[in-house]
Structure 1
Amino acid sequence: MLLIIQLILFLLVFGTGVFLFGTAVFQRYKFLRLGQADSARSGRHKERIWSFITNVILQKKVIAEPSGIGHLFIFWGFLVLVFGDLDFLVYHVSGWHFPWATMGWYLFMQEMFSLFVVAAIIVAAYRRYIIRPMRTEPSLEAGAILGLITLLIVTYFVATGAEMAHLGNYPGYASPVLNGIAHGFTGLSATTLVVIAEIAFWIHVLCLTTFMYVIPRSKHSHMMGAMANWYFRRYDSPGKLRKLDLEDESIEEFGVGQIHQFTWKQLLDGYACTECGRCHINCPATLSGKPLSPRNVILKMKDTINAQGPGLLAQMAAGAEEMSSASLFEGVFTEEEVWACTTCRACEEACPVANEHVQDIVDLRRHLVLTEGKASPEVNKVFQNLERQSNEWGINRRDRAKWVGELPVRTMAEVEGKAEYLYFVGTAASFDQRNQKIAKAFAQILINAGIDFAILGDEEESDGDSARRLGNEFLYQEFVERNIEIFREYGVKKIITTDPHAYNTFKNEYPDFGFEAEVYHATEFAAKLIDEGRVKPSVALNQKVTYHDSCYLGRYNGIYDAPRFILTSIPGVELVEMERHHNKSMCCGAGGGGMFKEETGTRINVMRAEQAIRTGASVIGTACPYCMTMMNDGTKAHGKEEEIQTFDVIELLAMSIA
């Protein structure tokens, strides 16, 4: 009779936890369905399953940083303990064990994982509440979760140890901790041991029920959200922005101004976020004192959908034709934080749960620019210059090919489109005097190597990247149409460019508009020429060079080796890396239109230049005209422009060719 009462009470308590867990999860599922459709999340199921295995089960991205080792122990320990806990609960209400649960090897494994989890929790608590690194916040919620997990393990040990002492069934060396606890209870009366076991068991059940209530309602929703996020991650170019349908006349608002205008996947990011702060400490805007934290962007989205979701669901149930909620710029996001982003993707590269922050921020910018008509004076000036002269500086577009000078560089018009390669020079290398040297150097390399190429000259338009990243999708698509028209007119099939921003949008975004071509960045192409023996660097430069990775070349397109191959192919060049390099490189601050915006706080390029100066290098190597400008200005701000000069990798290669 006592077992029946205990079983009924257990089912009531545990069932309540399951019910509270299920209702919260289902409610959040309904919140996600309020979001817009996202066609990029279907298909490629084998890749998605493998991504789930490597990043969820094996925790590949989590353990990319040393602090992730502790999470790995907690995660795997938790998985193992789930099976042990299942047996623990069943046994205490039925007196029956699963066959494997009493085997020595399993008892030992469960005990070792329990100890790993406790050790990892102690380390995590020490980091969060004693060391307090910038990326973490000592929240009560996090402490409560760590405490609940610890209490679950302790109560399991106490209840099981008391049970073993009562039955005289000591596990011996197979389970040294339980064996010690059981022997410690030896000498207590049978009644006392039963009471201890029962109290520990019911505390355990209450902790488990509390845990089920808390998980979907706290940051620990990432236990489910991260699984879904990794499965539904994108598989096209990581930096590719979503195309807006500007031809649909029924659409009155563009971008995202209300929470339900995000896609369901963007909303899912909020439930996947672990609040680990990796994005926070890698964001150049955050590090330089700007009012932006990519972590907070994601968390604000989650908090907002949780707060406004019930009302939106009520509107849907009432049959509203269009849902409406409060503007995200009224108490959720500020315009300052939205404009502070450099779109460098350092946040996305660092994120262990595949969150995609940049699209969120660009969508918010699109709403400000296209729907509300809001932008800072300097951003509006960029739009005006692009509209009038097809370049951000507003320089006369007829001067676009003046950099050529006496070089024997032909235009596509002159060769009637019969050149094999189009060298798309880009705005910066066309108009900026310092960057024109890059264009000349690359053109001379191509000429020396016998490459059949031509430029568009005065016919070249902006690639549109700045307009798109600043939120003006309408202006971007105008440039896309113009460029595709002229590319098709000349039969362009292969494009080379010294501008990573043009490279990225031509290669990854123009296909959405019906144009595809072979697209090469200048460093890719030059590295290929060196490898084939068509370009032979022979003049020793005798310089210590540190290379600054362009965000749009590196994190956007995975090109890290080609520029370094060029540098190490040049006699007399000693390559030294900055502390932050390759996929962990710090942005120069120019991306996302940052080149043309006013900065608050410390200038990002000044911070990056300081990192370069600390290497003791005599030269900063770049592979982007915007990076060139920013690094030049950064060294000048430190008064070090004579001690450490900035050259494009292509310029250094040209210097080494006899």
Structure 2
Amino acid sequence: MDFVEKYELCACLQCGKCTGGCPISMKAPLNIRSLMREVLLEGKSDRALERPGLWDCTTCATCNLRCPRGLKPAEFIVGLRAELVEAGRVPKTIIDALEGTYKHGNPWGRARQKRSEWKGDLAVKILPEEGEAEWLYFIGCAPSYDPRLQGIPRTLCRIFEAAGLDFGILGTKESCCGNEIRRIGEEGLFEELRGENTKNFRSSGAKAIVATSPHCFNAFKNEYNLDGFQVVHYTQLLTELMKEGKIKFSHEVRKKVAYHDPCFLGKQNGVFDPPREVLKAIPGIELLEFERSRERSLCCEGGGGRMWVEGTGEGKRNSEIRVRDARDMGAEIVATACPFCLLTLEDGTKTTGLEEKIHIKDIVEIVGEAIGFDHE
């Protein structure tokens, strides 16, 4: 299909709402409106493909939501990146991430046999070798390997066990979900990952999948065609377990908490209330709202492959703006439900000198504290 036809460039009104709403365009050479017009008039020219701003896009999809014609400018950017990947004209760090995923099943190139080290001595059923389960818990690459994040799946497994949830994991068979791989522009590798993961999902015997990361959740829900599977983000499952009375809190968390909406959970999948319901149910928490929240939430800049390529823009990072906003509203904790958001926001506290005043936590960590895991 012709590139112009595929992305419906002739339907673009050139209204500029995509660029006006972009969380990156104010500080980086990324002007989606202008780029769409350029490709419409000139085709996929070298000049268009050499725009440095192509790698600044986080694929947060704010532009998709703002477009009055229902176009998807973020997908247009992914299409241009695919042309660059095909030609081998990509940053070295992106090449490394793609090679690591191809060889080892994760963008960091860590050994597959170490993918289950996050669980330590925690006894978790491996599917299907160690039996059957109703739920398959998909850990994700970052929580599997990053020391800062490894405690999140450990705590979530303990929460599931305490709630009596019948679940298991894939262990070392788990591979990258491919959400960022596709948005980098490597459609072929994404299709391989989708095929491999889908085969493992179906052979696991589980009927439902719960994901740590909104990025994995998005891929499974919208891009895997998992007919017959229920796919949820962990905050959705925790909300249901709380409503059923299966999660009990024994400790108060007397903190002012501001919740940061991850783009791939909120903007792209409409999951706004479950994370807030979980936080509201925790004794002692005073839940605060950012001025820019829900559909207007400020992107942390961690998506779309940006974890493996530095942006070209100058000025304050969005993570720094976010933590300063949290400080100004009196928050003590910024809670999120995304591994990438946690890492970028935590970096923001360090570069702004606010790491002693503002703490970044995943909702799972706060739930574990309220249950009493930190007090055992």
Calculate the TM-score normalised by the size of structure 2: 0.94
- 1:429 partnered with 2:143: yes
Q: State the alpha-carbon separation in 2 of the partners of residues 264 and 422 from structure 1.
A: 36
Cα contact 2:64–2:73 (8 A) shared by 1: yes
* Residues 127 and 170 in structure 2, CA contact (< 8 A), matched pair in contact too: yes
- Distance in 1 (CA, whole Å) between partners of 2:327 and 2:94 is 31
The answer as to whether partners of 1:507 and 1:517 remain within 8 angstroms in 2 is no
Q: Are 2:195 and 1:481 aligned?
A: yes
Give SS of 1:478's match: helix
Aligned twin of 1:556 = 268
Q: Secondary structure at the match of 2:263?
A: coil
Pairing 1:536–2:248 present:
yes
| Structure 2: distance between partners of 1:473 and 1:361 | 13
Paired amino acid for 1:383: L
Question: CA–CA distance in 2 between the matches of 1:618 and 1:545?
Answer: 6
Name the SS of the counterpart of 1:343 in structure 2: coil
3-state SS of 2:70 partner: coil
In structure 1, C-alpha distance between the alignment counterparts of 2:127 and 2:224, rounded to whole Å: 20
- Shift in Å at residue 610 of structure 1? 2.7
The aligned residue for residue 89 of structure 2 is: 374
Distance of aligned partners of 1:474 and 1:515 in 2 relative to their CA distance in 1, 3 Å threshold: farther
Within 2, Cα distance between the matches of 1:428 and 1:438? Answer: 10
Amino acid at match of 2:11: D
Closer, same or farther in 2 for the Cα pair 1:297/1:269, shift >3 Å? farther
User: Which of 269, 279, 282 in structure 1 is aligned with 2:18?
Assistant: 279
1:372-451 alignment runs, 5 A limit? 372-416=87-131, 418-451=132-165
In structure 2, the residue corresponding to 1:394 is in which secondary structure?
A: coil
State the distance in 2 between where 1:502 and 1:604 align: 23
Give, in whole Å, the separation in 2 of the partners of 1:265 and 1:559.
Answer: 26
Residue 431 (structure 1) shift: 0.5
Q: 1:362 aligns with which of 71, 74, 78?
A: 78
The change in CA–CA distance for 1:447 and 1:299 in structure 2 (over 3 A counts) is: same
Structure having the higher Rg:
1
2:4 to 250, 257, 262: 262
Question: Using a 3 Å threshold, how does the CA distance of structure 1 residues 615 and 350 change in structure 2: closer, same or farther?
Answer: farther
After TM superposition, give the deviation of residue 596 of structure 1 in Å.
1.2
User: Structure 1 residue 621: deviation in Å?
Assistant: 0.3
Counterpart contact for 1:424–1:456, Cα < 8 Å = yes
- Letter of the structure 2 residue corresponding to residue 624 of structure 1: C
Q: Output the CA distance in 2 between the equivalents of 1:263 and 1:506.
A: 27
- Measure the CA separation in 2 of the matches of 1:343 and 1:517: 26
Counterpart contact for 2:302–2:341, Cα < 8 Å: yes
- What is the distance in 2 between the residues matched to 1:431 and 1:523? 21
In structure 1, the partner of 2:291 is: 579
Q: Residue 282 and residue 265 in structure 1: after superposition, are their counterparts in 2 closer, same or farther (change >3 A)? A: closer
Provide the C-alpha distance between the structure 2 equivalents of 1:646 and 1:548, rounded to a whole number of angstroms: 10
1:266, distance to aligned residue in structure 2 (A):
1.6
Q: 2:54 aligns with which of 324, 329, 338?
A: 338
1:608 equivalenced with 2:322 (yes/no): yes
Q: Is the 8 A contact 1:346 1:586 kept in 2?
A: no
Counterpart for residue 350 of structure 2:
636
The DSSP-based 3-state class of the residue aligned with 2:210 is: strand
Distance change in 2, residues 1:388/1:355 (3 Å): same
The separation in 1 between residues aligned to 2:319 and 2:357, in whole angstroms, is 17
Structure-2 residue corresponding to 1:596: 308
2:340 aligns with one of 617, 623, 626: 626
Separation of aligned partners in 2, 1:595 and 1:608: 18
1:294 maps onto 2:35 in alignment: no
Superposed, 1:86-105 pairs within 5 Å as none
Pairing 1:567–2:263 present:
no
Q: After TM superposition, give the deviation of residue 469 of structure 1 in Å.
A: 0.7
**Aligned mate of 2:184, from 470, 474, 487:** 470
* Amino acid paired to 2:9: L
Give CA-to-partner distance per residue, 1:25-75, whole Å, 9 cap, x none. xxxxxxxxxxx3xxxxxxxxxxxxxxxxxxxxxxxxxxxxxxxxxxxxxxx
Q: What's the CA shift for 1:296?
A: 2.1
Q: Tell me the distance in 2 between the aligned counterparts of 1:265 and 1:596.
A: 26
Give the AA of the match of 2:84: L
What amino acid maps onto 1:374 in structure 2?
A: R
Q: Is the 8 A contact 2:49 2:80 kept in 1?
A: no
In structure 2, distance between residues paired with 1:593 and 1:561: 27
Which residue does the alignment assign to 1:494? Answer: 208
TM-fit CA distance, 1:373: 1.8
Output one character per residue of 1:466-503: Cα deviation in whole Å (capped at 9) or x when no partner. Answer: 21110011111111111112122223321011111110
Give the whole-Å Cα distance in 1 for the aligned partners of 2:99 and 2:51: 21
1:333, distance to aligned residue in structure 2 (A): 4.8
The 2-side partners of 1:641 and 1:471 are apart by 35
SS for the counterpart of 2:219 is helix
Correspondences of 1:94-243 after superposition (within 5 Å): none
The answer to whether the 8 Å contact 2:137/2:210 transfers is yes
Contact 1:510 1:516 in 2 (8 A): no
What are the superposed Cα offsets for residues 587-636 of structure 1, whole Å, 9 maximum, x if unpaired?
A: 10011011111122233322333333332200010100111101100111
Shift of 1:515: 5.0
Aligned to 2:331: 617
Output the amino acid matched with 1:510: Y
Structure with higher helix content: 1
Quote the Cα distance in structure 1 between the aligned partners of 2:127 and 2:7. Answer: 43
CA RMSD of aligned residues (A): 1.7
**What stretches of structure 1 of length at least 5 have no aligned partner?**
1-35, 37-259, 309-326
AA aligned opposite 1:381: D
Cα distance in 1, alignment partners of residues 7 and 30 from structure 2: 22
Does 2:65 correspond to 1:349?
yes
Structure 2: tracts of 5 or more residues without a match: none
Letter in 1 for 2:245: G
* Equivalent residue runs for 1:40-59 within 5 Å: none
2:224 is paired with a residue whose SS is helix
For residues 331 and 412 of structure 1, the distance between their equivalents in structure 2, rounded to whole angstroms, comes to 49
- Residue 332 of structure 1: how far off its partner (Å): 3.6
Q: Deviations over 1:354-402 (max 9, x none)?
A: 23111111111111112x1211011001011111211111111111111
Percent sequence identity over matched residues? 37
1:398-456 residue CA offsets vs partner (Å, 9 max, x unmatched): 1111111122211114423x111000000011101111111111111100000010111
Give the Cα–Cα distance (whole angstroms) in 2 for the partners of residues 500 and 605 of structure 1. 18
Give the conservation status (yes or no) of the 8 Å contact 2:218–2:265.
Answer: yes
Q: 3-state DSSP class of the match of 2:96?
A: helix
1:655 is paired with a residue whose SS is helix
